[in-house]
Structure 1
Amino acid sequence: MNINVAIDGPAGAGKSTIAKRLAAELSYIYVDTGAMYRAMAYYFMKNGIDSTDKEKIDSVCKDIDITITHKNGEQVVLLNGENVNGLIRQEAVGNMASKVSVYPTVRTKLVDLQRQLAKKENVIMDGRDIGTVVLPDAQVKIYLTASSKTRAQRRFDELCAKGLECDIDVIEKDIIERDKQDMNREVSPLRQAEDAVLLDSSNLDIDGVLSEMKRIIDEKINK
């Protein structure tokens, strides 16, 4: 039986960072759903499609192919065959992804691909609605969160380390706005699944979060 681990939570909670390390340590396949949504958002931006143009978005979804592969231990996101790893982590792309993820056509296309992956492999998948919508039967569900101030500080440190100028107050404002959008959208809003374990990482470092997650997974799988 394949083991599926669903990690949900708000923007900036560290889901992707933790999920990647967890997958590597457990030898599971990491499915970066956020990267898939970002890749689709990047396609729309690249082609001058506005986030409010639902009709156009619906019509071009069929032309978009997004694949995740692993090369030399690194995840590679392919958008219609092009490696877009270095293009989809910009703030503007993240904000666009949050806006277009409300459209059923966008979600249906990506959810189908994500479920197919989960049927074939032991996977760790992170996002906003993995435990509630994408993998409702996942054996392990974790809702990872942290205060908006903690999440803003982490993002600020990450951007500064890359030599980018940024304002922590603006970052926190963006995070709060993203939370509001994600929690109040009509389609698959961000929420904690009833059977998910809540894990607040505000006062934990990465190793501490990893340790807690491995304990949770072990308890769920071997209960």
Structure 2
Amino acid sequence: MITIDGPAGAGKSTVARELARRLGYRLIDTGALYRGIAWRVREAKADPGDEGALRRLLAGTTIDLRDGAVLVDGRDVTGEIRTPEIGELTSRLSMLAGVREKVTPIQRRLAAAGGAVLEGRDTGSVVCPDAEVKFYLDASPDVRVVRRQRELEARGLPAAPEEVRAEIGRRDRQDRERTLAPLVVPDGAVVIDSTGRSAEEVVRLMLEEVARHGCCTRS
């Protein structure tokens, strides 16, 4: 089991996908589950501030990851959950105990079979604290803004740099200051700064660390 945590724009998704491919592992995007919850809340026009109502809504909601797709009540919403609006709502909802009580067991169930790379913000600190290898990926603020802007543009959602910087700043504050499972460097994690490094260079560093542990071989 390998975990990769870090803030938005650090390059987690790209390197997690490639690392999983190189190792023959499954990729588990834990943040996508929270985004699926945010999509459901938005569709239901539920009040994020009413945790009781949210608990009732989520009690009747199913969410899963299947072959890279995010399924909410059986509907594939993968293409609808990567907007800035969903991202900000996700950060708000991930602070709530009721939401985490819904999502964390699903993440652990998906990881239980082993042979997986988990990517998110609390995979090494909360979801799988006993993972064999844990990474924390970061990058400079300027690099993170550029990467996030390119990601949005690739999805047909252009945004000005100052808007992206503000979005990242809000998400960072919410992720790092929340009481439940804040974004931290997990105990025992290898910290990698991806500033000035290509995705290939980061993956190579990770593969070297995996080999050093001698625990995660190609399946």
Give your verdict on TM over 0.5.
Answer: yes
| 1:174-193 alpha-carbon deviations (Å, 9 max, x no partner) | 11111111000010110001
* Aligned mates of 1:164, 1:102 — CA distance in 2: 26
- Partner residue in 1 for 2:205: 212
TM-score normalised per structure 1: 0.92
* Aligned mates of 2:75, 2:36 — CA distance in 1: 10
1:121 aligns with 2:118: no
Which of 166, 171, 179 is equivalent to 1:178?
171
- Partner residue in 2 for 1:25: 22
User: Aligned ranges for residues 160-175 of structure 1 at < 5 Å?
Assistant: 160-175=153-168
1:34 aligns with 2:31: yes
Secondary structure of 1:86's aligned partner: helix
User: Aligned ranges for residues 18-167 of structure 1 at < 5 Å?
Assistant: 18-70=15-67, 75-167=68-160
* Aligned mates of 1:133, 1:155 — CA distance in 2: 25
TM-score normalised per structure 2: 0.94
The percentage of counterpart residues that share the same residue type is: 37
The CA RMSD over aligned residues, in Å, is 1.5
Change (3 A) 1:164 1:119: closer
5+ residue gaps, structure 2, are none
Deviates more, 1:78-87 or 1:114-123: 114-123
Change (3 A) 1:65 1:222: closer
Aligned residues: 216
| 1:5-31 alpha-carbon deviations (Å, 9 max, x no partner) | 011111121212211111111111111
Q: What is the CA-CA distance between 1:222 and the residue it aligns to?
A: 5.2
- 8 Å Cα contact 1:139-1:221 kept in structure 2: no
